[in-house]
Amino acid sequence: MDVFERLGLAVRKQNAEGELPDFITPLLLKVAENPAEFADREELVATLLKYVEEYQTWSEMCCEKVGYSLEDIHRTLDKMKVRY
C-alpha cells in the first residue's frame, strides 16, 4: 500500500472514529485520491499522513505540543497548494 492509499484510509478512519473535522476531509482526500497530481510531493504526503494519524484537537492547549493540529495540516496543504 502506497502513501496515498494510507492517507486515504487514515483520513476516513480519523474522520469516522476520531476527531478529524468534516470540513478538512475533502482537501485531504483530494490529495489521497490524486496520486498522479501529487507524485512529485510524496514527502509532503507522508507528512500529512503522520499529521492525520497523530491528530489531536487539544495538541496546542498546554505548554508542550502533543500530536498535530489543524494548523499543521493546513500549513502542509498550503505548501502543496491544495485549496477548497
- Residue at grid coordinates 482526500: 29
Give residues with Cβ within 8 angstroms of 50, minimum separation 6: 68
Q: Residue 84's pLDDT band (boundaries 50, 70, 90)?
A: confident
By CB atoms closer than 10 A (0-12, 13-18, 19+), residue 23 is exposed
Local confidence band at 67 (pLDDT 50, 70, 90 cut-offs): confident
15-51 pLDDT per residue, tens: 999 889 999 999 999 999 999 999 999 999 999 999 9
DSSP 84: -
pTM tops 0.75, yes or no: yes
Q: Looking at the predicted structure, is the pLDDT value of residue 65 above 90?
A: no
Say if residues 53 and 36 touch (Cβ distance below 8 Å): no
